[in-house]
Chains A and B, each alone.
Chain A
Amino acid sequence: MIDSTARPIIESLSRDHSASLLAWSRGRFSDPRDAEEVVADTLVRAWRHFDQYDPTRGTERAWLFGIARNAAADHHRKAKRHLRSLPVADPADDPIDDPDIDRLVESSYVSDALGALSDEHRAAVIDAYYNGRTTTQIARNQHIPPGTVKSRLYYALKAMRGHLEERGVLQ
């Protein structure tokens, strides 16, 4: 039996959140297939319980991370039960109960905001913030005026701020 709500809901959730869920899941499972299976499982569970999502209790992404946490725990338990020798993280070292899902969700939104920038803007932010270069150095490396570098940084942070405001990370 096909449930006609499955495809649109799952595709929509995946479009908005699967990259973040996958990044998190890959950090918890050495085998990438396990990481992918946990994310797929998360999407299915989210679809099944979609009517239970309460926006007043938190963002959709936070809700999904909560589901993902449980899906990962179940996956670990299944692995132990079947005595598979997959190189998964030892549950004792990886308590599954992430202490701060809000922080996790926040970080994922910041990654999204960076990813949403144009290549030029993102490169400017990376060079200035992560590589510690001054606008003069960046301008010299890229053969552009320093004013252009400052301007790119300005519009990059404006865009990121807007992105994060929309998602409630910033007010």
Chain B
Amino acid sequence: MASKIIRVRELNIDIPKEAMILAEQMLSDLEKSKRPVLEAVKTSLDNAIYNQKVGYLTPGDKVVRTELNVSSVQKLARVVFILEILLGNLEAQAVNNKREIYYICKGLIKKNAKLKPLDFEDQDESDSIIDFIGDMLQVYREELNCFANDRGGQTYSQQLIVTETMADGTKATVDLSTLGTAPYQPKNKPQALKLKVKKKVDFALVVESEGTANTLQTMGFTRRNNVILIGAQGVPSNGVRGWCKLIEEELDVPIYFFGDLDAYTMQNIFRTLKAGSAASLIRNQHFSAPSVRFLGVLPEDVKKYDLPYYNVKESDPAEARALKKAKDALEGDPFFLDKKNKGLADILRWLMKEKIRCEQQSLFSVDPRDKLMMEKIILEKIKKGAYV
């Protein structure tokens, strides 16, 4: 039986073959007393390009070169060690997440005294090697059969039907309207899913706080409206990003994001959802939803709805950092520098100037007696075009 691990995308490269070529190159270099060099895409902001037509951050030309020498020999030994494990998984069509790979490493090292110098002190060390391998081969972690247990993405809708094709070819169909109060949470392979709607869906709403999404849902948001409601649960994981991308591609509906009005949300949450991040330069193509719009909280909303807000305490280190990051972003983040995103950059500037922040839940203060106020405001804003 041809049992396949679901492909995340149409991959042009055959990973085992590429890995073999790489290893062969390294080996023959060594035979000739030549220094093998490993090159990986540099995943940092200074190597990130943003083109508004493309819509997400793409990698530039910079690479991180790791040349073999007395200082790097440990890293390279580790890279080859873990590469071997991953290749083994691919061959056996087994999957593991990052933490499991960490323990697999530990187990192998325990068994073989010779490997002791490789020993990882904590998971961060093995995680970074796995990332390096991905960046080096220019493949997604998932394509190495290393999946993360992505959080967030709890989805509620009366209209949405999801069909999942399993590894063995069978299909599973989930009608979200039959789930009762439980959400549907797309796991880490959103690309293996196909979407269908019963009735036309007006928009998808991604709410920063999963709790607030749940509240809206419980109050009947999805019953009264033909929408897809998603809780991001903070910084959107790859799963959430991929899921939004899927909705964007398959359903062609407007997607709105609703979260706090503060620098952290703008940069770390919204921008990551819309255009990906520097760390995931290689994968942003499939893990970002460029069409998503920022619905709120907007600066104008604070005044319009008289929302309670906080003053940013400069003495608070976390807040001070966020403001500093905002300043850096306005100067160095290609996303915010692009004129298409001027509206978003303006919000950042406004935040830096006013030094306040306003939480999404503040909408509940607008008319506490009206339990559906938040829903009404959201709908009103969408109707009026009050988004960026």
Binding partners A and B: no
Interface residues in chain A, defined as those with a beta carbon under 8 Å from any beta carbon in chain B: none
Chain B interface residues (CB < 8 Å from chain A): none
